[in-house]
Amino acid sequence: MLDFPGRLKALRKSKGITQKVLSIFLEMHERAYQMYEYGTREPNHATTAKLAAYFGVSVDYLLGLTDNPERNL
């Protein structure tokens, strides 16, 4: 099971988008976003939820707590 940085990077690559695109979406510097993928910084709850919604996955999936990407609505 991948951890948060691994899931985030895999999801981003599966969508074919750059770190720059996600940093603009999150309204942050690209370097700050890169730190999420490197595992040297963790997003706050609001940013985690925003990332999960962007990729259409559950927060639990993004955090590596489950292998089921489906969101429970």
Q: What is the pLDDT, as a whole number, of residue 15?
A: 96
For 23, phi then psi, to 5°, come to -65, -35
- For residue 35, what pLDDT is reported? 98
Span 22-73, pLDDT tens digits: 999 999 999 999 999 999 999 999 999 999 999 999 999 999 888 888 876 5
Q: Evaluate whether the domain defined by 4-62 bears CATH number 3.40.50.720.
A: no
Q: How far apart are CA 6 and CA 53, in angstroms?
A: 17
The residues spanned by each domain of the chain are 4-62
